[in-house]
Amino acid sequence: MRRLSPDQSLDYYKVPHHEDLENIPAGIGNPLTHEKVILGKMLFFETALGIDAVNESGMQTYSCSTCHVPEAGFTPGASQGIADGAEGFGINGEGRGIRDDYNEDQIDAQGARPLSMVGVAYVQNSMWAGRFGARFNNVGTEDVWGVSDPTTALNHTGLDGLEAQNIEGTHTHRMRVDDYILDELGYREMFDAAFYDWPENARYGREAMSFALSAYIRTLMPYEAPYQQWLRGDENAMDEQMKRGALLFFSDAGCYRCHNGPVLNGNVFKAVGVKDLVDAGGLATGIDDERNLGRGGFTLRDEDMYAFKVPQLYNLKRAGFYFHGSSHTSLRSVVEYFNNGIPENPRVDPSYISPFFHPLNLTEKEVDDLTHFITHGLYDPDLSRYAPEEVLSGNCFPNNDELSQQDLGCN
């Protein structure tokens, strides 16, 4: 492991405590402060922001955490995230479904499964296709900013991925603040504390919302996972099977070739031929959905077609659905897919498949060990620490519709 890190040190794989703001990567122009993080934490779970819903029934019933549930590793806990236009929660988000008074073309649902927010501070360009952010992988793609996808015009601001994405996200997910939220609910004072040095006419707008949300999201660190404890010197934090799985991860299984970031993420894009969300019955998508093209749908370059971001691997234990199209429903199945090395999507020409995707020839025991490491060794058992006890509106969260209130025990 040590020889694979850029600095030849295990420190590369250690993540900081969520309050250690000096050591958490910040976005350009958005230095991390405790005031900003606290505001972002409240906004992330505040259903009162959902005031631009299509129908009256959807007003103030959803939040960012609708599709990024802490207990599900900050993923939807379902095959697809649906904010406005859905109801219900279940246990970890799996019980959410379209409302009777919404048509499929009215719901806020995307054509790919939402990525986890865990460790996203180490993600350079956000979304499965890396669309957002002016730096890193997007240097040299300026000619398509705002062309292939109008929302990516925000890259011209020079912002990094999270900050640019979350500005657009407040539009896409039909959220904003108004005087009622600021004054009646009491958020103005929190915005003033977080952005005291901003002009008043900008202090409560979408950029400020994005910067606060991004600051909070950057602090979602899985430092209580056994592997993290082992990295910090606790040799008993991982059981023997986890250790065998970790050795496979960084050797014969070859996972490290793509998952080589601090949270075992990768700021690269690879085609492994998995099925799309339409194949799993996703709503508001289809075979011709541009998201099915992966990074190529953004860059419009042939060499990027069907290549998707290499995601981080922490806290996938309770996510329930995996890959951009939710085509697999267990981590064992994911490991077996890579071990078999056979693409499953007939719409992806074999010429696009990454040379790293090939049969690994792992034994059943090795598959078990690798699955055990990813499932349990990378699992932080207390991501609920990142949720507030309540939000200023007093609303139920992450969802506030009647069915969710029943599921969540809010009434």
Per residue of the chain (411 residues), what is the pLDDT tens digit? 667 778 778 899 999 999 999 999 999 999 999 999 999 999 999 999 999 999 999 999 999 999 999 999 999 999 999 999 999 999 999 999 999 999 999 999 999 999 999 999 999 999 999 999 999 999 999 999 999 789 999 999 999 999 999 999 999 999 999 999 999 999 999 999 999 999 999 999 999 999 999 999 999 999 999 999 999 999 999 999 999 999 999 999 999 999 999 999 999 999 999 999 999 999 999 999 999 999 999 999 999 999 999 999 999 999 999 999 999 999 999 999 999 999 999 999 999 999 999 999 999 999 999 999 999 999 999 999 999 999 999 999 999 999 999 999 997
The HSE-up count of residue 32 (CA atoms within 13 Å, CB side) is 20
> Cα separations (Å) of 22 from 69, 218, 267?
26, 12, 22
Q: Could you tell me the residue range of the domain that residue 402 belongs to?
A: 21-221+383-408
Same domain, 215 and 246: no
Residue 6, C-beta contacts closer than 8 angstroms, at least 6 positions apart: 12
Asked whether residue 291 is domain-assigned, the answer is yes
Asked whether residue 230 is domain-assigned, the answer is yes
Same domain, 71 and 39: yes
Token pair of 341 as six digits: 């090395």
Token pair of 44 as six digits: 């992330």
CA angle 263/383/119 to nearest 5° reads 20
User: Which CATH number is 96's domain given?
Assistant: 1.10.760.10
Q: How far apart are CA 230 and CA 238, in angstroms?
A: 7
Residues present in the chain in total: 411
Asked whether residue 196 is domain-assigned, the answer is yes
Q: How far apart are CA 241 and CA 147, in angstroms?
A: 49
Same domain, 210 and 266: no
Task: Kindly report the pTM of this predicted structure.
Answer: 0.97
Same domain, 364 and 351: yes
Residue 135, C-beta contacts closer than 8 angstroms, at least 6 positions apart: 28, 124, 125, 160
Q: Which of 374, 65, 50 is nearest to 217 (CA)?
A: 65
